[in-house]
């Protein structure tokens, strides 16, 4: 229960920051993607199931407030969470390399898919332009934010896990 | 004991593979429903609206307060200089206003003569604040803090200042989604005010990013009458946008290879980077059927 509430708060804060504060802090019209950091990080730290659930709810939020059709981003983020969850066994909390790489890869993959389905199909063929002016800047900005946000998420998760372990022990005795 | 707990936990849990499959199906179904029936969200809009919109408003309030404080630091000299310039502008505008007033009287009398009053009647408007912008970097949609409770419905036009901003694509009880005209998927049928030529203004991420311009296409202008700086308004043939809302001014014109039509770019009048307050026109463009009905009653009278 505690985990659910904390997750809800994290998702809410990141979503609100992303669509209000970071939109005004954007460089050259590019804002970072906080939600992908949350989805990817929880996939890595907690595995497939939590990854896909966090992804689903993050995507649903984006769909409700900004999407064309309900379910596009929910589907996309859910798979991002799931695929990141597959790598949980290789995840060690002290090592920031894997999360950095995976968050970066997730961000680029998401944007490529969005470009492919929503831009290429409508005849916007200047892929290099979009790569240069949207995908790459967003990747860089997201990476910078990851350095801060990832450690916050990691600490929150460790705090949650500590409490969960304590509770489990109580039941055992 | 430990074993027992594990068994209990396993019973409760759905394997993640199945969960993924179930939720994928839900997503695809939702996609399908919103595509086919043109519904977006429905009850979800309501829940999300009541949970998130108040928070978005709060955060935006804080942001506005901060930027207001930042503005206070503008030096006095700057303000004085600005004041001087503004005073000159006021004088100039006053004289212009007088001229316009004279023209307006003339125009009004002509309009009465032509009984075109209702066609140019002022639209009813509702003021709203922009509370959140699209979380991604691909599209230009935003949400405003007025929804169906305030009489806003899908298809209403949104303006800011004197220019067209976009169109309401979805409403919740206390928020509405607006797609701006600079959005990559937006299309507006427009008209050059000077020559009454119709053409198509589409949003484009690329030209907007590069030089803050909107591309237009399919302008038929055989006599080369359209010039740079001509005002562009929404066209009477548009089925989504009210007639005569200013979009921007023509920035460049190019002849197409087919020598029949021209394309080029428009400078929009609205500053899309710093949108705070917008006005929603609470009238939806009449569809053809209603027009025909109205036309028939008019002739009967």
Higher-pLDDT residue of A65 and B119 is: A65
Average confidence (pLDDT) over B134-159: 88
Going residue by residue through chain A, which has 173 residues, state the pLDDT in tens, using 9 for 90 and above: 788 999 999 999 999 888 888 877 777 778 889 999 999 999 999 989 999 999 999 999 898 888 778 888 999 999 999 999 999 888 888 888 889 999 999 999 999 998 988 888 888 888 888 888 889 999 999 999 998 899 999 999 999 999 888 888 877 65
By C-alpha distance, the chain B residue nearest A85 is: B16
| Torsion sign over Cα B247, B248, B249, B252 | negative
Q: Does any CB of chain A come closer than 8 Å to the CB of residue B41?
A: yes
Q: Does any CB of chain A come closer than 8 Å to the CB of residue B54?
A: no
Tell me, yes or no, whether B228 lies in a domain: yes
Same domain, B171 and B98: no
Q: Does any CB of chain B come closer than 8 Å to the CB of residue A85?
A: yes
Say if residue B85's pLDDT is above 50: yes
> For the purposes of burial, counting CB atoms within 10 Å of the CB of B223, is it exposed (0-12), middle (13-18) or buried (19 or more)?
exposed
B236-293, pLDDT tens digit by residue?
888 888 888 888 889 988 888 887 888 899 999 888 887 888 888 888 876 555 444 4
pLDDT value at residue B297: 39
Query: B266-297 burial by CB neighbour count: b if 16+ within 10 A, else e?
Result: bbbbbebeebeebbbbbeebeeeeeeeeeeee
Beta carbons within 8 Å of B129's beta carbon, 6+ residues apart: B57, B60, B144, B145, B276, B277, B278
Same domain, B141 and B158: yes
Number of folded domains that form chain B: 3
Mutation to test the B interface, candidates A18, A65, A138, most B Cβ within 10 Å: A65
Share of chain B above pLDDT 90, in %: 5
Of B2, B40, B132, the CB nearest to A70: B40
| Banded pLDDT at B196 (limits 50, 70, 90) | confident
Q: Does any CB of chain A come closer than 8 Å to the CB of residue B205?
A: yes
Q: Which of B62, B92, B118 is the last residue of a domain?
A: B118
Query: A109-146 burial by CB neighbour count: b if 16+ within 10 A, else e?
Result: ebbeebbeebbeeeebeeeeebbebbbebbbebbeebb
Q: What is the CATH number of the domain that holds B159?
A: 2.40.10.340
CB B239 within 8 A of CB B287: yes
Please report residues of A whose CB lies closer than 8 A to that of B48. Answer: 61, 64-65
Closest CA–CA distance from residue A99 to any residue of chain B (Å):
21
Of A16, A19, A70, the CB nearest to B34: A70
Please report residues of B whose CB lies closer than 8 A to that of A111. Answer: 137-138
Q: What is the CATH number of the domain that holds A149?
A: 1.10.1760.20
What ipTM score was computed for the predicted complex, to two decimals? Answer: 0.80
Beta carbons within 8 Å of B228's beta carbon, 6+ residues apart: B250, B251, B252, B253
Judged by CB atoms closer than 8 Å, whether chains meet at A171 and B5 is answered as: yes
Instruction: Output phi, psi for B222, to 5 deg.
Output: -65, -35
Beta carbons within 8 Å of A18's beta carbon, 6+ residues apart: A31, A32, A33, A34, A35, B135
pTM: 0.76
pLDDT value at residue B292: 47
- Of B11-20, B162-171, B217-226, the one with minimum mean pLDDT is B11-20
| Banded pLDDT at B117 (limits 50, 70, 90) | very low
Tell me, yes or no, whether B167 lies in a domain: yes
Average confidence (pLDDT) over B167-171: 90
Higher-pLDDT residue of A131 and B118 is: A131
Please report residues of B whose CB lies closer than 8 A to that of A64. Answer: 41, 44-45, 48, 172
- The Cα B15–Cα A85 span in angstroms is 13
Q: Does any CB of chain B come closer than 8 Å to the CB of residue A53?
A: yes
Chain A and chain B share a number of CB contacts under 8 A equal to 150
Alpha-carbon distances, residue A117 vs A110, A123, B137, B253 (angstroms): 11, 11, 15, 31
The average confidence (pLDDT) of chain B is 79
- Of A37-41, B60-64, B166-170, the one with minimum mean pLDDT is B60-64
Q: Does any CB of chain A come closer than 8 Å to the CB of residue B27?
A: yes
pLDDT value at residue A68: 76
Q: Which of B118, B136, B151 is the last residue of a domain?
A: B118
pLDDT value at residue B66: 67
Cα B240 to chain centroid, rounded:
11
Judged by CB atoms closer than 8 Å, whether chains meet at A171 and B34 is answered as: no
Average confidence (pLDDT) over B104-110: 74
Same domain, B148 and B250: yes
Number of folded domains that form chain A: 1
Judged by CB atoms closer than 8 Å, whether chains meet at B19 and A49 is answered as: yes
Query: What is Dmax (Cα atoms) for chain B?
Result: 94
By C-alpha distance, the chain A residue nearest B36 is: A69
Domain that holds residue A115: 2-172
Location of structure tokens 């014109």: B253
Say if residue B300's pLDDT is above 50: no
Tell me, yes or no, whether B219 lies in a domain: yes
Higher-pLDDT residue of B299 and B138 is: B138
Domain that holds residue B17: 2-36
- Of A54-68, A142-156, B42-56, B139-153, the one with minimum mean pLDDT is B42-56
Judged by CB atoms closer than 8 Å, whether chains meet at B16 and A49 is answered as: yes
| Banded pLDDT at B113 (limits 50, 70, 90) | low
| B158 bridge partner residues | B166, B280
> For the purposes of burial, counting CB atoms within 10 Å of the CB of A147, is it exposed (0-12), middle (13-18) or buried (19 or more)?
exposed
Please report residues of A whose CB lies closer than 8 A to that of B137. Answer: 29-31, 111, 134, 137-138
B209-225, pLDDT tens digit by residue?
888 888 888 888 777 88
pLDDT value at residue B301: 33
CB B201 within 8 A of CB B234: no
Average confidence (pLDDT) over B168-191: 89
| Token pair belonging to A112 | 């490529």
Mutation to test the B interface, candidates A66, A82, A87, most B Cβ within 10 Å: A66
Average confidence (pLDDT) over B80-99: 86
Same domain, B107 and B241: no
CB contacts under 8 A, A 10-29 vs B, are 12, 15-21, 23-24, 28-29
| Token pair belonging to B154 | 């899908």
Same domain, B146 and B280: yes
Of B19, B29, B139, the CB nearest to A52: B19
Three-state secondary structure call for residue B212: coil
Please report residues of B whose CB lies closer than 8 A to that of A70. Answer: 30-31, 33-34, 40-41, 44
List, in sequence order, the alpha helices (H) in chain B: 2-12, 16-36, 43-72, 76-114, 205-211, 288-300
Average confidence (pLDDT) over B30-47: 77
Higher-pLDDT residue of B43 and B97 is: B97
Q: Does any CB of chain B come closer than 8 Å to the CB of residue A133?
A: yes
């Amino acid at each position: 229960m505690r985990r659910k509430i904390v997750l809800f708060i994290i998702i809410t804060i990141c979503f609100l920051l992303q669509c209000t504060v970071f939109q005004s802090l954007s460089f050259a019209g590019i804002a970072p993607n906080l939600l992908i950091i949350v989805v990817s990080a929880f996939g890595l730290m907690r595995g497939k199931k939590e990854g896909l659930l966090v992804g689903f709810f993050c995507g649903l939020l984006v769909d409700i407030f900004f999407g064309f059709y309900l379910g596009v981003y929910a589907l996309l983020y859910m798979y991002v969470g799931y695929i990141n969850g597959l790598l949980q066994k290789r995840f060690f909390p002290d090592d920031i390399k894997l999360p950095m790489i995976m968050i970066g890869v997730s961000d680029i993959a998401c944007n490529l898919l969005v470009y492919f389905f929503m831009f290429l199909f409508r005849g916007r063929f200047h892929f290099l332009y979009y790569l240069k002016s949207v995908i790459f800047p967003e990747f860089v900005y997201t990476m910078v934010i990851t350095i801060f946000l990832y450690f916050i998420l990691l600490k929150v998760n460790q705090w949650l896990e500590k409490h969960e372990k304590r509770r489990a022990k109580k039941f055992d005795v | 004991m430990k074993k027992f707990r594990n068994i209990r936990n396993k019973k409760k849990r759905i394997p993640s593979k199945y969960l993924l499959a179930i939720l994928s199906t839900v997503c695809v179904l939702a996609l399908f429903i919103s595509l086919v029936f043109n519904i977006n969200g429905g009850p979800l809009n309501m829940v999300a609206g009541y949970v998130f919109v108040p928070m978005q408003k709060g955060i935006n309030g804080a942001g506005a307060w901060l930027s207001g404080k930042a503005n206070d630091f503008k030096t006095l000299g700057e303000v004085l200089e600005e004041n001087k310039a503004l005073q000159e502008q006021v004088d100039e505008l006053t004289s212009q206003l007088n001229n316009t007033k004279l023209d307006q009287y003339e125009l009004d009398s002509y309009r009465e003569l032509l009984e075109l009053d209702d066609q140019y009647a002022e639209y009813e408007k509702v003021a709203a604040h922009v509370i959140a912008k699209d979380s991604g970097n691909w599209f230009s949609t935003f949400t405003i803090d007025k929804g169906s409770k305030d009489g806003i419905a899908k298809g209403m036009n949104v303006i800011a200042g004197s220019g067209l901003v976009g169109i309401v694509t979805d409403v919740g009880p206390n928020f509405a989604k607006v797609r701006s005209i600079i959005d990559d998927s937006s299309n507006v049928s427009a008209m050059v005010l000077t020559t009454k030529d119709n053409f198509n203004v589409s949003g484009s991420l690329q030209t907007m990013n590069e030089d803050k311009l909107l591309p237009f296409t399919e302008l038929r202008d055989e006599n080369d009458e359209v010039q740079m700086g001509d005002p562009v308004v929404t066209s009477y043939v548009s089925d989504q946008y009210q007639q005569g809302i200013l979009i921007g001014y023509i920035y460049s014109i190019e002849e197409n290879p087919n020598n029949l039509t021209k394309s080029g770019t428009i400078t929009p009048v609205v500053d899309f980077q710093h949108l705070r307050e917008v006005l929603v026109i609470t009238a939806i463009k009449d569809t053809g059927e209603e027009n025909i009905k109205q036309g028939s009653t008019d002739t009967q009278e």
